[in-house]
Structure 1
Amino acid sequence: MAWTDERIEKLKELWDSGLSASQIAKELAEGVTRNAVIGKAHRLGLKSRPSPVKSDKTKPKAAPKKVVKKETSKFVTLLDLTDRMCKWPHGHPGDDDFHFCGKSSEPGMPYCAAHCAEAYQAQPPRRDRRQQQRAPIR
């Protein structure tokens, strides 16, 4: 596909009229792709336009929900848990008093700070572990 003077003029007209790159490619036909239109428009220095995909900034974003423990229940059940609550289980799942911690979890973690400290323990460096495993030769 060659960019003739006629095609370039038509591209400029369609671009200025506000058609999308896909629509312009269909108008020009014969081997012209959306990416070819975008590349040529860029090389010609045509004014850029906002992306229709990224134009959701006009919609107001919902405020983050606050985590509120239920006052009526003494325990946090599976149905009460949210992404920002500690999921550390207390008791056995078959018991009536089985529940979860429910405190605010650490960012990116499933547990609160106290339960993270209990669940994730740092390993000593490898060479230190090897020295601990070796029995002294006597």
Structure 2
Amino acid sequence: MNINPLCRDWSQNEEAILKNLWLKGQSASEIASVLPGRTRNAVIGRVHRLGMSRKDRPQSTLRAAAPAKPPREPKAPPIVRNMSNGPLKAEKAAPPPVDSPSLIAPANDLAVLLIDRRRSQCSWPVGEPGRPAFQMCCGGPVPEGANKSVETYCLTHAAKAMARQVGTPRQSEKDYARSLRRWAA
């Protein structure tokens, strides 16, 4: 006994209509619209349970497949040139950045063991990295109100830690606009 009113048994009349329309090639949605109270999924389920397939319908309703088109010949890629339509010129690479002499400073006499470093002392590592027993840091004074991203370094080592060196000039507006145009292209 079905509790759901939509899940009722199929009558002989409904099954006959279903078989007839299915063999004529109608879709499950079209059949469901003819049968009151039946959904597309109910029609599909009943067709499956009855063991019917589309192979049962007459062959005359099937359309022949269109003949395959011959493959196209690939086109040659277009030739791309610069604005003057002449040969492309290679630009010279920018020289590598050179550290200013003020940033290349030897370890000072204030170097302390990293574990003994105080909050107001620079934590830039100095010494030999191969000797872990002597992990030393700069120990120079950290100015109050230092940049938050490098607040544990002295002024010299804070300048080394930043991506753009303090001594190098900023990019001009013209160069910046040019780089944006190149990026967008």
Same fold (TM over 0.5): no
What TM-score results when the alignment is normalised by the length of structure 2? 0.34
What TM-score results when the alignment is normalised by the length of structure 1? 0.43
